[in-house]
Every structure is written in C-alpha cells, then in structure tokens.
Chain A
Amino acid sequence: MRKIVIVAALLTLLGGAVAVAAEPPTRAEYVAQLEGICKPDAAATQVAMRGARADLRAERLPVATAKFAKATKIFGGTVKKIAAVPRPPEDEARLAKWFGYLNRQESYLQRITAQLRAGRAIKAQRLTARFIHSGNLANNVVLAFGFNYCSFKFSRYG
C-alpha cells in the first residue's frame, strides 16, 4: 500500500514537472533563448564572409562563392534551430510571418550561391537586392522583440 502511495506521489510530481516544462515561454524568455542561438551563428557568419568583398573586387569569384555557401549553411542552420523553439502563443502569427521572411532569405542565399557558382554575376546581384529587402521586412515584423543577433544586419555579410 505504502509503495503505491509513493509511486502515485512520484507520478503526480512528474506530471507537475511535465506541465511546468510545457508552459509556453514569455516573449522575454523567447527572445533570450533565440539570441543565445543566434549569437554564435552571427559571429560565425562574419568570420565566414570575411574578405568576400575583396575577393569579388579581385575577381576571385570561386573563393567568394565558397564564402557565400558557408554563410548560407550557417543561416539555414540558425533558422532550423530557432524554428524549433516553442513560441509565445500571443506572438504566433507575427513569428510565423517572420519565419516566412527568414525562409525566403535562406532561399535567396541559396540561389545567390548557385548563380555565383555558375558565374552569373548580374543574376546574383538581383537576388542580393531581394535578400536584403526581405531582411529589412523581417526586421520590421519583429521590431518589438528588440532582437540584436537574430535581426538581419547587412554588415555581417561583408
């Protein structure tokens, strides 16, 4: 009988713990969690893109392309990681829109890399305009979140 009581108590405690863990985050908690993910990736992007501008100017297109490919991979990885984080329910719609822009940016980066690889500079140029434009739109959607590392900053890309 005593055993049953203990097991029941443990189950109750466990249930409580599960309930606590499943509680959705507040916006502040969400922002803090995402910034923790984005920070190292933002730094990695800067490192990956270092010198890309000089490479382009010196017509070292394959070298610049490799840097873009790396930045694209980092961007995609970051989006995947932050997309998995539970979202504050009251911000669901807004965040869905934000992730829409982020996915669009990722797609543009992939296409820029492909066009550079194919030596089609002007096409890459046009896609870069769209990439930046989407980044600015993404920032506007989550302006109230006050993101730093998770916001789009052109300066990180060379």
Chain B
Amino acid sequence: MRGRRRGAAGLALGALVVALFAVAIGASTAGGERTQDGHLIVSLDGGLAPLTLPRDRPAPVAVRLAGGLQTTDGSLLPRVTRVELSLPGQGVLDTHGLPMCPTRKLRDATTDGALEACRDALVGGGRLEAQVHVPNQPPFAVHAKLLAFNGEVRGRRAVIFHGFAADPPTVVVLPFLLRLETGRLRTRLVADLPPELGPWPHFAHFEVRLFRRFRFRGHDRSYISASCPIPKQFTAGFFSFAKASFTLAGGQRVGTSITRSCRARAN
C-alpha cells in the first residue's frame, strides 16, 4: 500500500445539483425503485447520510447503494458481464493523501486478511449475493462480505471491492474504475466481471456503503462530500441520485435510476 498525493480538486461525485424542490419525506418507495424488462427486474435503492447539508460548500457524507436483479418467475438469472454505477457530477470524491490498496494484496485474502493488508485504504463495505448454477446440481446462493478500498488500476483511480464468502470459500476482487463523463450523473464506477469467474456465478444483489474520514497534513478530509445547493427560498430539494446499469451476456443492457432528496442546512 502506498500513500499518494492527488490533485486537490478531487473528483466530481456526490450529488447534488438539486433539480426541483421538496421536503425529504421519502419520495422513494420501499425497496427502492424498480424497472422490468421482460421477466427481469432491476432494482436500485440508496441514499446519502446525513440528508441535511450546507447549500454552498461540500460536507462529509456517506453514500449507500443497494441493487440487483431478480426474475419474475424464479428462473435462472442471466449472467452479468459489466456493472455500472452512475452518480451525480457535483460534489467531491477526495482521495488526496488517502493510501491505496494494490489488488494483488487482496487476491486470495479472507476479509480479515484484506483488512490487515489494506486497512488504511478502506473506504467502505457491504455485501454481495450471487446465484451459483453448477451443471447437474441444484442452484445455491453465495453471500459474500464486501470491503471497498481506494486504489488504482492501470493508472486510473478505482474503488476496489473485495468479496469473501466462507461457504463455499470464495474470493472475488472487483475493481470499479472511475470515469468522468458528461451529463447529470457523470461520475461512473464501471466494473467488468472477469471471465475467470467462470460461467457459474450469476450476480444477484449488492449493498454497499462508501464513507471514510481521514486526516492528511493536519487537515480533516472526507472520501465523499456533497452539498445541497438549492435556492434559498426552498428548504429541501430532489435530485437524480444514482443509476445502475447491468450489461448481460449477449450484450443486452438493463438498468434503473433513483431520485433522492436533501435538506439545506443553515450554515
């Protein structure tokens, strides 16, 4: 692991040009938003914490995202080859002075082993569920604990997810590369599921929370910061918070997006 300086500006992440206005009374529905394509349902849920943020400057936040795929008839899930998570382009993802974890330290590591190797680079955690379909056997589910680390892959910033399941013993290291694009949800985390995973595991569900406070050169920093830049005549606002897209084996893409709210804090 190594510490590394980064451009101070940080990445645009986090959310938060607020689209309209409104109170934060739960515009979301239980279980998040869903869309259906044929017999496949894509779901996405998540949010920011805290919800009350300054209007004019970013403050530390945690981002939670949960989503996945299910079939309406309980049939086999299609294989996912790429996962893309898009987040709003305003706000800050700051890795300035935050150590990085090389993927080689995570391969073959248990959760404890990964923490031991890269604790300084930890930026979040969660869980992952996959369906495993081995020929001539009934399908079974694998529940993995996820850790998220700050990292870099081929010179590009990344959030590296380490998943470990004890039964059956499974380790997966999945780098989500950070891409900056145009549009409202212009910060994208993109992971290509490696062919080494084989044809048997089928991605089903994930839940992840990203949050990290750290200190660098005497200054308190936050991995993710956001503001709630709503007009002063309003007290709260809604914004497009996230989008999840899944590319399936065969090239078809399915996805859904969610809207969330924030409240403006009196500074």
Q: Which residues on A are within 8 Å of B, measured CB to CB?
A: 52-53, 56-57, 59, 61, 121-122, 124-129, 132-133, 136-137, 139-140, 143-146, 151, 153-155, 157-158
Contact = CB atoms under 8 A, between A and B. Distances in A.
A68 to B, nearest CB: 9
B41 A143 contact: yes
Given A129-B23, A154-B259, A139 B33 contact: yes
Contact of B23 (A57, A126, A140): A126
13 contacts: A53-B19, A53-B20, A59-B232, A122-B234, A128-B21, A128-B22, A129-B22, A133-B25, A139-B35, A140-B34, A143-B36, A151-B35, A154-B259
B21 A133 contact: no
Contacts of B24: 129
A34 B18 CA distance: 31
Given A56-B231, A121-B21, A154-B259, A136 B33 contact: yes
A138 B72 CA distance: 19
Nearest to B257: A155
Interface in B113-130: none
Interface string B231-255: 1111111101000000000000000
Contacts of B233: 59, 61, 121-122
Contacts of A155: 19, 184, 240, 257, 259
Nearest to A137: B29
A121 B34 CA distance: 30
Interface of B: 17-29, 33-38, 41, 72, 184, 229-238, 240, 257, 259, 261
Contacts, number: 91
B22 A143 contact: no
Given A121-B233, A144-B72, A154-B238, A56 B37 contact: no
B19 A157 contact: yes
A132 B259 contact: yes
Nearest to A148: B35
Contacts of B237: 125
A158 to B, nearest CB: 5
Contacts of A140: 29, 34
A61 to B, nearest CB: 8
Contacts of B35: 139, 143, 146, 151
A146 B38 CA distance: 7
Nearest to A59: B231
A158 B20 contact: yes
A136 B34 CA distance: 9
A147 to B, nearest CB: 9
Nearest to A57: B231
Nearest to A145: B36
Given A136-B33, A146-B36, A151-B35, A125 B234 contact: yes
Contacts of B235: 122, 125
A128 B237 CA distance: 9
B27 A129 contact: yes
A136 B29 contact: yes
Contacts of A132: 22, 27, 238, 259
